[in-house]
């Protein structure tokens, strides 16, 4: 089950992506078309009203004249939607797309923007800061050169429980009925067969036999069948693909087990370094997972404000 996020919207960058202004002809469908009858704001004319002098109408009615149409600044994706569909069928839902190695190239990012991407999400669980910096530069260049207005959101890793890097393997397939070992022990590469390293030292203490273990919100599902010291034996009940650094959640009696995160910090030391990086490169949003109180958000907002002064 995906974790809930709290979003902080950073101040808009000083440089604004070029926008397209619809001509009066192109924007005609955005205007409030003049009605055949004036809009009636006050229908009673039995008593003299001081404002009636400003509306010389023989019927004694207050009328509102249609406002003059003004140019509307939009990006090229919205302009294309308006020209194709008109304002009544224009998409109002915003699309957040997670950018990874398969979608970080200029042509792939442009294809996402053409398809409606409004926000490019960077998952700080994966990749290094140099890779993230290159992706942010590519998104900014796309906006500047092609006229899009794609924002950048940095999603911090937080205190989620994660799998390890699978010993360098790009992925692993869990088949139905297989018994996998989830362990807090450190292993030399390559990992033992059907073994996953877990980043949380209290992992084996928190889980119980019979709990359901979900990988990445349901990409694969396991049932805890045995606990052996630092190792937890789990049977695969719903096969799927295991990816490096995938998050793990536990369900017990039909409810997610949240106690496992009670003693973990909402914002880790790595998160603070990532937040400093995000402020420095000018991301538009910062997402934080597993927020336990409003104080966490207030503290982070104050920190961002202090670090952003003079930028």
Res. 111 pLDDT band, cuts 50 70 90: very high
The larger pLDDT score, comparing residue 121 to residue 263, is at 121
Decide if pLDDT at 43 tops 70: no
Res. 119 pLDDT band, cuts 50 70 90: very high
Determine the average pLDDT of the residues in 183-198: 83
Q: Are residues 102 and 241 in the same domain?
A: no
Query: pLDDT value at position 169?
Result: 79
Q: Are 135 and 104 in contact (CB under 8 A)?
A: yes
Decide if pLDDT at 131 tops 60: yes
Q: Are residues 97 and 119 in the same domain?
A: yes
Q: Are 157 and 132 in contact (CB under 8 A)?
A: no
Query: pLDDT value at position 18?
Result: 45
Query: pLDDT value at position 136?
Result: 97
Lowest-pLDDT choice from 5-9, 66-70, 206-210: 66-70
Residue 48 located in a structural domain: no
Name the pairing type of β-strands 73-74 and 95-98. Answer: unpaired
Give per-residue pLDDT as tens, 47-70: 444 444 444 444 444 444 555 556
Q: Are residues 105 and 132 in the same domain?
A: yes
Q: Are residues 137 and 201 in the same domain?
A: no
- Report the number of distinct structural domains present in the chain: 2
Query: pLDDT value at position 117?
Result: 94
Residue 94 φ/ψ, nearest 5 degrees: -95, 135
Decide if pLDDT at 186 tops 90: no
Residue 46 located in a structural domain: no
d(CA 22, CA 149): 16
Boundaries of domain holding 169: 161-261
Residue 30 located in a structural domain: no
* Residue in the block written with tokens 């009673």: 44
Decide if pLDDT at 250 tops 70: yes
Query: pLDDT value at position 28?
Result: 36
* Residue in the block written with tokens 């890097």: 165
Q: Are residues 122 and 187 in the same domain?
A: no
* 2-6, 48-52, 203-207 — most confident range: 203-207
Q: Are residues 88 and 219 in the same domain?
A: no
CATH number at residue 207: 2.40.33.10
d(CA 98, CA 123): 7
The helix, strand and coil proportions of the chain, stated in percent and rounded to the nearest 5, come to 30, 25, 45
Tokens (6 digits) for 140: 């900014």
Query: pLDDT value at position 283?
Result: 95
Residue 53 located in a structural domain: no
Q: Are residues 149 and 278 in the same domain?
A: yes
Query: pLDDT value at position 143?
Result: 94
The larger pLDDT score, comparing residue 23 to residue 292, is at 292
Q: Are residues 271 and 257 in the same domain?
A: no
Q: Are residues 90 and 237 in the same domain?
A: no
Query: pLDDT value at position 177?
Result: 95
In terms of C-beta density within 10 A (0-12 exposed, 13-18 middle, 19 or more buried), how is residue 152 classed?
Answer: buried
d(CA 132, CA 79): 29
To the nearest whole percent, how much of the chain has pLDDT over 90? 35
CATH number at residue 113: 3.20.20.60
Query: pLDDT value at position 308?
Result: 83
Residue 25 located in a structural domain: no
Residue 63 located in a structural domain: no
The larger pLDDT score, comparing residue 76 to residue 51, is at 76
Query: pLDDT value at position 311?
Result: 66
Residue-averaged pLDDT of the chain: 77
Decide if pLDDT at 175 tops 90: yes
Q: Are residues 131 and 237 in the same domain?
A: no
Residue 127 located in a structural domain: yes
Q: Are residues 127 and 175 in the same domain?
A: no
Q: Are 101 and 128 in contact (CB under 8 A)?
A: no
Res. 9 pLDDT band, cuts 50 70 90: low
The larger pLDDT score, comparing residue 168 to residue 249, is at 249
Residue 41 located in a structural domain: no
Q: Are residues 15 and 126 in the same domain?
A: yes
């Amino acid at each position: 089950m995906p974790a809930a996020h709290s979003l902080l919207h950073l101040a808009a960058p000083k440089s604004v992506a070029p926008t397209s202004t619809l001509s009066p002809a192109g924007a005609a469908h955005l205007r409030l078309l003049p009605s055949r009858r004036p809009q009636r704001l006050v229908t009673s004319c039995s008593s003299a009203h001081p404002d009636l002098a400003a509306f010389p109408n023989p019927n004694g009615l207050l009328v509102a004249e249609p406002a003059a149409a003004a140019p509307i600044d939009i990006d090229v994706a919205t302009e294309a939607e308006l020209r194709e569909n008109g304002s009544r069928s224009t998409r109002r839902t915003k699309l957040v797309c997670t950018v990874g190695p398969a979608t970080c190239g200029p042509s792939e990012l442009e294809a996402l923007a053409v398809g409606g991407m409004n926000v490019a999400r960077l998952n700080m669980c994966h990749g290094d800061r140099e890779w993230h910096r290159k992706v942010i530069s590519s998104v900014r260049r796309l906006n500047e050169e092609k006229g899009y207005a794609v924002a950048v959101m940095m999603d911090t890793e937080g205190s989620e429980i994660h799998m390890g890097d699978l010993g360098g393997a790009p992925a692993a397939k869990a088949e139905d009925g297989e018994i996998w070992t989830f362990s807090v022990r450190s292993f030399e590469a390559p990992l033992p067969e059907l073994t996953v390293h877990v980043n949380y030292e209290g992992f084996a203490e928190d889980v119980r036999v019979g709990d359901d273990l979900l990988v990445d919100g349901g990409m694969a599902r396991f049932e805890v069948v045995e606990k052996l010291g630092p190792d937890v034996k789990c049977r695969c009940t719903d096969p799927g693909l295991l990816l490096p650094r995938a998050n793990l959640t536990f369900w017990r009696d039909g409810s997610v087990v949240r106690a496992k995160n009670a003693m973990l910090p909402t914002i880790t030391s790595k998160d603070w370094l990532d937040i400093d990086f995000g402020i420095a490169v000018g991301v538009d949003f910062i997402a934080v997972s597993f927020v336990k109180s409003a104080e966490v958000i207030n503290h982070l907002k104050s920190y961002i404000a202090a670090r952003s002064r003079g930028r």
